[in-house]
Structure 1
Amino acid sequence: MTTWLIVDGYNMIGQWPALSGDGSRSLEEARDDLNARLDEYGALSGWRVLVVYDGYRVKGNAGTTRRFPYLEIIYTPEGVTADMAIERLAAQLPKRSHFYVASGDRLIQETVLSLGGLRMTGTELRQAIADARVKAHRLIHKEVPRSTLDGRIDPEVRSQLEKLIKEDDRPS
């Protein structure tokens, strides 16, 4: 069964100090950074990740969707807020789907719960991404035990073999 994560993009940027920064970063840089982190999380977790950004104030905006292997980015059209799109997406998920919505918006959180999903705060999302990175790092850098007889040989047999080796090493 697929697990879905729907992210309220601008809401998460506002809740994530590393993304929102001290004001020296552009909104585009913050979006790109969040998208990269969510794409990585999708790859590491195996979840379907969708991030939704408001485009409702942009005149003539038809909305766009960009799909990547582990992330789908949705920019809402003019007149449609991210909250509206998130509610619609959550309601359209297949029945019995496991899904989370990452948003600090209380109304969205309550709607998600009423639809059978779970809410995730910005702090919880940051922690989930950090945990996935740590898990992947440990898996990649895990010391693989060597497949040798050394670790499986009986100590008495080892001692006898070492004696034989020493005898063979003596000059004739």
Structure 2
Amino acid sequence: MKVIFVDGYNVINSWPELKELKDFSYEAARKKLINDLQNYAAYKGYKIILTFDAHKVPGSMEKKEKIDKNITVVFTQELETADSFIERNVNDIGRKIDVCVVTSDLLEQQLVFQRGATRMSSIEFYNEVNNSKINIKNKINNNYSEKKSSLEERVKKDIFEKLDRMRKSK
């Protein structure tokens, strides 16, 4: 299973709708990001570790919340940035499993690449997640239209009855 580490505030500050939303409420922007990533992770079958800085919050302890089987949200401890949390964890697993780090921080991208992870900018990830949203909608619409459109609904009643008699006579 592919593991994706996401620098949460980096993404919030890069994605247009989240950037706008955070001006009103960081909490709302975080919740929207979590929701979008839940759908993406479930659709792709990836494990996502969404990391937010809490390094400027006095007395903050590292806090992990498992949202579902595919996504875990981490708030770092005081004096630890999301970057350092991601680096430490990628260092432990980067050469053992398929790991990707989402951040637009160029220095961070270079460091995680050296530790065995691939990297993706926040904007590339934005496009990836939005393409998945489109694919999910199309899949739902196709499944819905297939279920709603039976042969009986598509042909005239007299033709359907003739076909039904033919089917039953065999």
TM-score, normalised with respect to structure 1: 0.78
Deviation at 1:22, TM superposition (A): 6.9
Deviation at 1:140, TM superposition (A): 2.2
Higher helix share: 2
Matching of residue 10 in structure 1 with residue 6 in structure 2:
no
Gap change, CA 1:118 and 1:74, over 3 Å in 2: same
Query: Of the two, which has the highest radius of gyration?
Result: 1
Answer yes or no: is the 8 Å Cα contact 1:7–1:101 preserved in 2.
Answer: yes
Describe the superposition over 1:50-90 as per-residue Cα deviations: whole angstroms up to 9, x where unpaired.
11111111111112000021210000001111110010111
User: How far apart are the structure 2 equivalents of 1:24 and 1:79?
Assistant: 25
Q: Percent identity?
A: 27
Correspondence for 2:111: 111
Correspondence for 1:45: 44
Deviation at 1:23, TM superposition (A): 6.0
RMSD: 2.3
Answer yes or no: is the 8 Å Cα contact 1:63–1:77 preserved in 2.
Answer: yes
Correspondence for 1:93: 93
Correspondence for 1:168: none
- Name the SS for the 1:109 alignment partner: helix
Count of residue pairs brought into register by the alignment: 150
Q: Where does the alignment leave 5 or more consecutive residues of structure 1 unmatched? A: 149-160, 166-172
User: How far apart are the structure 1 equivalents of 2:72 and 2:65?
Assistant: 6
Answer yes or no: is the 8 Å Cα contact 1:67–1:73 preserved in 2.
Answer: yes
Answer yes or no: is the 8 Å Cα contact 2:22–2:29 preserved in 1.
Answer: no
Answer yes or no: is the 8 Å Cα contact 2:21–2:28 preserved in 1.
Answer: no
TM-score, normalised with respect to structure 2: 0.79
Gap change, CA 1:22 and 1:85, over 3 Å in 2: closer
User: How far apart are the structure 2 equivalents of 1:19 and 1:94?
Assistant: 29
Correspondence for 2:155: none
Correspondence for 2:20: 21
User: How far apart are the structure 1 equivalents of 2:56 and 2:43?
Assistant: 34
Answer yes or no: is the 8 Å Cα contact 1:44–1:133 preserved in 2.
Answer: no
- Name the SS for the 1:74 alignment partner: strand
Gap change, CA 1:83 and 1:24, over 3 Å in 2: closer
Correspondence for 1:58: 57
User: How far apart are the structure 2 equivalents of 1:40 and 1:144?
Assistant: 23
Q: Where does the alignment leave 5 or more consecutive residues of structure 2 unmatched? A: 152-161
